[in-house]
Structure 1
């Protein structure tokens, strides 16, 4: 399992794994939320050597960004509403723990609760069972 709370600062190899793993998890989150292909962008900004940078899933109605900007608080996933993929300001900021990347159904539930975006849990379970 990936150690989300191990700092990426000054560790290029760990930073590369952080970005690769977070991108993969955000792709799974998009699938869990049933976001149609083409309705979102997935971006990675590695930034400078002293920071983790961020990985962003930017949908037409939700903006989700993963980074180590809240290590001291245990938070590192920003979730907010937006009005299109050119809206970089969006609605109010909500933060959840980086560790939620290891539980995509729970993270999807948080995204749905905060933004109203995505299929509900019952429909998601039905789809997987089919």
Structure 2
């Protein structure tokens, strides 16, 4: 398992692994949520040497961002609703632990509970 809590600060190898692994997990999350192709994008902002930067899954109705911004609280995944992929502020912020990237079904359940997108949530809304 990837060590999500090992700092990327001033560690280029760790930052490279962090971004690659987070991108991979967010793509798995999109598959778990059964998001239609073209309804989302996964992008990465490596930022400066002193921070992790962030990896974002931006769906038409949800914004999910992974970073080491909540290290003291153990939180590092931001989940919120949005109105399209040009909406970068969206609804209220919700945070879950970075380690949820190691349990994609549990992370998908959290995303569905917060945003009502994805498999099961979309069927209930119909």
TM range (shorter): over 0.9
Alignment of 1:90-129 (within 5 A): 90-120=90-120
The count of residues paired between Structure 1 and Structure 2 equals 122
Q: Within 1, Cα distance between the matches of 2:15 and 2:72?
A: 18
TM-score (norm 1): 0.92
Ranges in structure 1 where 5+ consecutive residues have no aligned partner = 124-130
Residue in 2 that maps onto 1:11: 11
Could you say what secondary structure the match of 1:47 adopts?
coil
Instruction: Provide the C-alpha distance between the structure 2 equivalents of 1:80 and 1:65, rounded to a whole number of angstroms.
Output: 9
| SS of aligned partner of 1:112 | helix
Gapped regions of structure 2 (runs ≥ 5): none
Cα distance in 2 for partners of 1:120, 1:25 equals 20
TM-score between the two structures when normalised by the length of structure 2: 0.95
Cα displacement string for residues 75-128 of structure 1 (whole angstroms, at most 9, x for unaligned residues): 00000000000000000000000000000000000000001011128x8xxxxx
SS in 1 for 2:25: helix
CA RMSD of aligned residues (A): 1.1
Corresponding residue SS for 1:58: strand
1:67 paired with 2:41, answer no
Q: Distance in 2 between matches of 1:41 and 1:99?
A: 22
Write the deviation string for residues 35-58 of structure 1: whole angstroms up to 9, x where unpaired. 011110110000000000000000
CA distance in 2: counterparts of 1:62 and 1:41, whole angstroms: 11
Instruction: Please identify runs of 4+ aligned residues in structure 1 that moved more than 3 A.
Output: none
Structure 1 distance, partners of 2:120, 2:54, is: 27
